[in-house]
Structure 1
Amino acid sequence: MHAIRLHAFGPAENLLYERTEDPVPVPGQVRIAVAAAGVHLLDTALREGMQGPYPTTAELPTIPGREVAGTVESLGAGVDAGWLGKRVVAHLGLVPGGYAELAVTDTARLHEIPAGLDEAEAVAMIGTGRTTMGILQFTDLGPADIVLVPAAAGGIGTLLVQYAKNAGATVIGLAGGAAKVTRVAANGADLAVDYTLSDWPEQVRDHLRDQLGGRRATVVFDSVGGATGLAAVGLLGKGGKHIVFGWSGEGLHDGKPLTFTDEELAERGITSESVLGPVMIAKAGGDVRALEERSLAEAAAGRLRPAVQRFPLANAAWAHRALETRGTMGKVVLEP
């Protein structure tokens, strides 16, 4: 098979398209002919040798990627023959191997792809969608809410905008550049604003005053941190929620989530909660699969539709570089 292999930690150009041995499914596993492999911003950090949330750095050489969708083309011992030929999607967990034409995983990780979704969309929902469902556990949105979504043109941001609109909330989406702002508006945001413009907070305040009677935002879904995140929090009213799930604006290496002291929160009259990792899993009762099932069900019902940006598998290095330079919209997917 062909796969993307990483022999040395470093820049995106270290991702090499090579021929390598086909993986063999062990008992309890299937082998998937991969039609789509998800790319996560975290993958770019792991490529550079960061440990991330995993016990150790990757053992080299490695095939990156932990999200795949395709067709089951062979079975390990003891696997129900009914899986053969099914369209499936899976998160591979701690085991990489997704950036390839073939991938193996345990049957317990498989989900059948709902009718109406292609493999790239299914990959987006098993990774980005799962995380979105996890984030949404921490607030109940409704018609009284004014929701502010920085990075609203990204994979998670796209789904948060859709979910909040479905719940009846007013949605303000931030994005960087005219093309992304246009995408956010087309996705249903009531107001789409370019956060690269210095006056974007004033644009939002004007909208709140002129269109919403001077009300303030009730929820900020913060994946960017830094100055943009801080300005977004400044638009929250008393009782508002700051929900943190990233710090892309600060850089993966040196950045950190936007946090506040208890005194600062009391002065602002808001709450702030970081919801990634163990906190999110605990909120789901330890059942990550339930988040995956909910995500796929939302897509199958047409309530959520992921935005996908596709790259050929051979161009994985381009995909990583585009992610690192904020040159993408939606979920990045590799297609063999």
Structure 2
Amino acid sequence: MHAMVINEFGGPQVLTETELPVPRPGRGQISIDTTHAAVGLVDVFFRRGDLAGRPDLPQPPLVPGLEVAGTVREVGEGVHDFQVGEPVVTLSQISLGGYASVTLAQAAMTVSLKGSGVDPAQAVAALPNATTAYLALTRVAHLQEGESVLVHGVAGGLAAPFVAVARSLGASRVIGTVSSQARIKDTEHLGLDQVFTSDRFVQDLDGRLVDVVVDPVGGEVRTASLDVLAPLGRILLVGHAARTPDIPLTGDDLWHRSAGMLGFEVGSYLHANPDAARPAAEKVVDLLAGGRLTLRVDELPMSEAAEAHRRLEAREVPGRLVLTI
């Protein structure tokens, strides 16, 4: 099979096209003839070695890619709910392997697209992060109907689905922030009530408070979010795209504000709780099928994976990048 392999940490050029043996599914697994693979910032972290200190994560040589769409090639022992040829999409898998013409996946982390009419590029671009949004907003932030939500980095692929999911859960107002004025146009399809730049959102909110903040950015944006949080508000920590560290807080900082900071890393959570994956995903498939969740998707052939990584690092991606295979 064709695959893009990282043999050593480094720049985009370390992504090397390689022929590898076709993997066979084990118990509880399926193999997928991959048609689309999502490219995310976490792939860049793996490639650069930012996560090299995590013993629970794959190390070089590795095939990056957490999420794929395609058709079932083969089912492993104990798998009875998928058929060969069935269109599917996977959720985020810390085992990686997506930049390849054949991908192994846990059946529990895979969702059928049969009969949905959902485009596979949209499915792999939006469904895994929409599932993250659903789990984070319902199980962690406990979003209540009528509450307001602020989503940082909303032009990015991780944060964008939070808008539609928050709406479906009854949010009364959804506001976003982006890194610059130029990126505001990249959010026009999301249906936000307002969009601000991340360096001015506190001033532009002008005293209006929000109940839930979704933060995949970190750094100064994370700390500033405390200034717009309503009493009993929650900040959801779902990533750290900023290259600067967080400003340290104490428990007293949260106590005096009656506020909470709640972390959610979907990969490790679903690895430990795989039975939570498919029910959550099925809750948001209808958002895609009904057109209530649509992302901007740029497609590149798998051979241009290095260019995809370059664009991500240069912040030239208004939505999500997907490799076609």
TM-score, normalised via structure 2 length: 0.84
Tell me the SS of whatever aligns to 1:237: strand
The corresponding residue for 2:157 is 155
Residue 177 in structure 1 maps to residue 166 in structure 2: no
Question: For 1:281 and 1:31, how far apart are their aligned partners in 2?
Answer: 19
Matched AA of 1:289: R
The corresponding residue for 2:64 is 64
Cα distance, 1:310 vs. partner? 2.5
Tell me the SS of whatever aligns to 1:234: helix
The corresponding residue for 1:287 is 276
Tell me the SS of whatever aligns to 1:328: coil
Question: For 2:62 and 2:270, how far apart are their aligned partners in 1?
Answer: 27
Q: Does the CA-based 8 Å contact 2:175-2:193 persist in structure 1?
A: yes
Q: Does the CA-based 8 Å contact 2:130-2:162 persist in structure 1?
A: no
Question: For 2:288 and 2:135, how far apart are their aligned partners in 1?
Answer: 15
2:192 maps to which of 189, 193, 201: 189
Q: Does the CA-based 8 Å contact 2:178-2:196 persist in structure 1?
A: yes
Cα distance, 1:278 vs. partner? 8.8
Matched AA of 1:310: E
Provide, for residues 171-215 of structure 1, a one-character-per-residue CA deviation record: whole Å limited to 9, x for no partner. 2210123342122243111111122xx54432221xxxxxxxx54
- Summarize the Cα distance change of 1:189–1:259 in structure 2 as closer, same or farther, 3 Å threshold: farther
Moved more, 23-32 or 241-250: 23-32
Tell me the SS of whatever aligns to 1:36: strand
Question: For 1:324 and 1:4, how far apart are their aligned partners in 2?
Answer: 18
- Summarize the Cα distance change of 1:219–1:303 in structure 2 as closer, same or farther, 3 Å threshold: same
Cα distance, 1:10 vs. partner? 1.6
1:267 maps to which of 243, 256, 263: 256
TM-score, normalised via structure 1 length: 0.82
Question: For 1:316 and 1:268, how far apart are their aligned partners in 2?
Answer: 45
Q: Does the CA-based 8 Å contact 2:109-2:274 persist in structure 1?
A: no
- Summarize the Cα distance change of 1:107–1:265 in structure 2 as closer, same or farther, 3 Å threshold: closer
The corresponding residue for 2:135 is 134
Q: Map of 1:1-336 to 2, 5 A cutoff?
A: 1-25=1-25, 29-51=29-51, 55-74=55-74, 83-91=83-91, 93-114=93-114, 115-137=116-138, 138-143=141-146, 145-166=147-168, 167-195=170-198, 198-205=199-206, 215-250=208-243, 255-256=245-246, 260-276=249-265, 287-336=276-325
- Summarize the Cα distance change of 1:72–1:146 in structure 2 as closer, same or farther, 3 Å threshold: closer
- Summarize the Cα distance change of 1:218–1:27 in structure 2 as closer, same or farther, 3 Å threshold: closer
Question: For 1:105 and 1:282, how far apart are their aligned partners in 2?
Answer: 12
- Summarize the Cα distance change of 1:58–1:268 in structure 2 as closer, same or farther, 3 Å threshold: same
Cα distance, 1:35 vs. partner? 1.0
Q: Does the CA-based 8 Å contact 2:137-2:166 persist in structure 1?
A: no
Cα distance, 1:259 vs. partner? 5.8
Question: For 1:110 and 1:223, how far apart are their aligned partners in 2?
Answer: 24
Tell me the SS of whatever aligns to 1:243: strand
Cα distance, 1:108 vs. partner? 4.3
**Could you list the runs of 5+ residues in structure 1 that have no partner in the other structure?**
206-213
- Summarize the Cα distance change of 1:28–1:168 in structure 2 as closer, same or farther, 3 Å threshold: closer
Question: For 2:271 and 2:30, how far apart are their aligned partners in 1?
Answer: 29
- Summarize the Cα distance change of 1:101–1:161 in structure 2 as closer, same or farther, 3 Å threshold: same
Question: For 2:25 and 2:268, how far apart are their aligned partners in 1?
Answer: 33
How many equivalent residue pairs?
321
Matched AA of 1:70: G
The corresponding residue for 1:209 is none
**Could you list the runs of 5+ residues in structure 2 that have no partner in the other structure?**
none
Identity of aligned residues (%): 29
Q: Does the CA-based 8 Å contact 1:284-1:291 persist in structure 2?
A: no
Q: Does the CA-based 8 Å contact 1:50-1:57 persist in structure 2?
A: no
